[in-house]
Amino acid sequence: MKTRFAPSPTGYIHIGNVRSAIYPYLLAKQKHGKFILRIEDTDRERYVEGATELIMDTLKWLGLDWDEGPVIGGPNAPYFQTERKSIYHKWAQKLIAEGRAYADPTAPDIINKYRQECTDKKIPFLYRNFRPTDTPEWHEGLPLRFKSDPKPRKWHDVVMGDLSVGSEVQDDIILIKKDGLPTYNFAHIVDDAEMDVTHVIRGAEYLSSVPNYLALYEALGLEVPILVTLPHILGPTGNKKLSKRDGAKSVVDYRDDGVLPETMLNYLACLGWNDGTEQEIYTHDELIERFSLERIQTSGARFDETKLLWLNGQWLRRLVEEQGIAQFYPRTEGFWPDSAKAYDAKYRQKVFAIIYDRLKALSDLRTMTSYFFEDPNIDLKLIIDNKFLKKFSENELVDFLQQSVAKLQGTDWDEKSLQSALNQLLETTTLKPAELFSLIRIALSYAPFSPALNLTLATLGRETSLARLNSTITALANA
Ligand code: GLU
Give the model confidence (pLDDT) of 212-224 as tens digits.
Answer: 999 999 999 999 9
Taking alpha carbons only, the member of 28, 24, 38, 31 closest to residue 68 is: 38
Residue 377 backbone dihedrals phi, psi, to 5 degrees = -75, 135
Q: Are 400 and 372 in contact (CB under 8 A)?
A: no
- Cα separation, 424 vs 405, in Å, equals 13
From the CA of 206, give the closest atom in ligand 1.
Answer: 6
Please tell me if the CB atom of residue 7 comes closer than 6 angstroms to any atom of ligand 1. yes
Percent of the chain with pLDDT over 70: 99
pLDDT of the residue at 16: 78
- Cα separation, 466 vs 286, in Å, equals 50
Fold of 381-477: Arc Repressor Mutant, subunit A (1.10.10)
- Examine domains 2-80+234-302 and 381-477 and report if their fold is the same: no
pLDDT of the residue at 168: 87
Q: How many Cβ atoms from other residues are within 10 Å of residue 95's Cβ? A: 21
Q: CA 270 → CA 304, 394, 407, distances in Å?
A: 12, 53, 52
Question: Where do the structural domains in the chain lie, given as residue ranges?
Answer: 2-80+234-302, 84-230, 324-372, 381-477
Q: Which of 48, 197, 202, 205 to mutate to test the pocket of ligand 1 (most atoms within 8 A of CB)?
A: 202
Q: Which of 20, 52, 212 to mutate to test the pocket of ligand 1 (most atoms within 8 A of CB)?
A: 20
pTM beyond 0.95, yes or no: no
Q: Which of 66, 200, 206, 224 to mutate to test the pocket of ligand 1 (most atoms within 8 A of CB)?
A: 206
Residue 247 pLDDT exceeds 70: no
Taking alpha carbons only, the member of 72, 76, 65 closest to residue 28 is: 65
3-class secondary-structure state, position 415: helix
Residue 15 pLDDT exceeds 90: no
Tell me what the mean pLDDT of segment 252-275 comes to: 96
Question: Regarding the domain with residue range 84-230, which homologous superfamily does it belong to in the CATH classification?
Answer: HUPs (3.40.50.620)
Taking alpha carbons only, the member of 300, 265, 36, 26 closest to residue 159 is: 300
Taking alpha carbons only, the member of 309, 273, 255 closest to residue 25 is: 273
- Cα separation, 331 vs 322, in Å, equals 14
Q: How many Cβ atoms from other residues are within 10 Å of residue 345's Cβ? A: 14
Q: Are strands 199-203 and 226-230 parallel, antiparallel or unpaired?
A: parallel
Classify domain 2-80+234-302 by CATH number.
Answer: 3.40.50.620
Q: Note the residue count of the chain.
A: 479
From the CA of 188, give the closest atom in ligand 1.
Answer: 9
Please tell me if the CB atom of residue 4 comes closer than 6 angstroms to any atom of ligand 1. no
- Cα separation, 303 vs 236, in Å, equals 6
Work out the pLDDT band at 236, boundaries 50, 70, 90: confident
Residue 246 pLDDT exceeds 80: no
pLDDT tens-digit readout, 359-407:
999 999 999 999 999 999 999 999 999 999 999 999 999 999 999 999 9
294-311: burial string, b at 16+ Cβ within 10 Å, e else: eebeeebbbbbeeebbeb
Q: CA 128 → CA 102, 113, 120, 220, 422, distances in Å?
A: 12, 15, 18, 19, 84
Residue 234 backbone dihedrals phi, psi, to 5 degrees = -95, 155
pLDDT of the residue at 192: 98
- Cα separation, 394 vs 397, in Å, equals 5
Please tell me if the CB atom of residue 2 comes closer than 6 angstroms to any atom of ligand 1. no
Q: Are strands 34-37 and 2-5 parallel, antiparallel or unpaired?
A: parallel
In sequence order, what are the residues at sequence separation of 6 or more whose Cβ sits closer than 8 angstroms to the Cβ of residue 369? 336, 337, 340, 351, 355
Please tell me if the CB atom of residue 47 comes closer than 6 angstroms to any atom of ligand 1. no
Residue 141 pLDDT exceeds 90: yes
Please tell me if the CB atom of residue 64 comes closer than 6 angstroms to any atom of ligand 1. no
Taking alpha carbons only, the member of 173, 228, 174, 222 closest to residue 206 is: 228
Work out the pLDDT band at 36, boundaries 50, 70, 90: very high
pLDDT of the residue at 235: 86
pLDDT of the residue at 214: 98
- Cα separation, 302 vs 240, in Å, equals 9
Please tell me if the CB atom of residue 6 comes closer than 6 angstroms to any atom of ligand 1. yes
Please tell me if the CB atom of residue 153 comes closer than 6 angstroms to any atom of ligand 1. no
pLDDT tens-digit readout, 415-472:
999 999 999 999 999 999 999 999 999 999 999 888 999 999 999 999 999 999 999 9
pLDDT tens-digit readout, 142-185:
999 999 999 999 999 999 999 999 998 899 999 999 999 999 99
In sequence order, what are the residues at sequence separation of 6 or more whose Cβ sits closer than 8 angstroms to the Cβ of residue 42? 81, 82, 177, 181, 182, 183, 184, 187
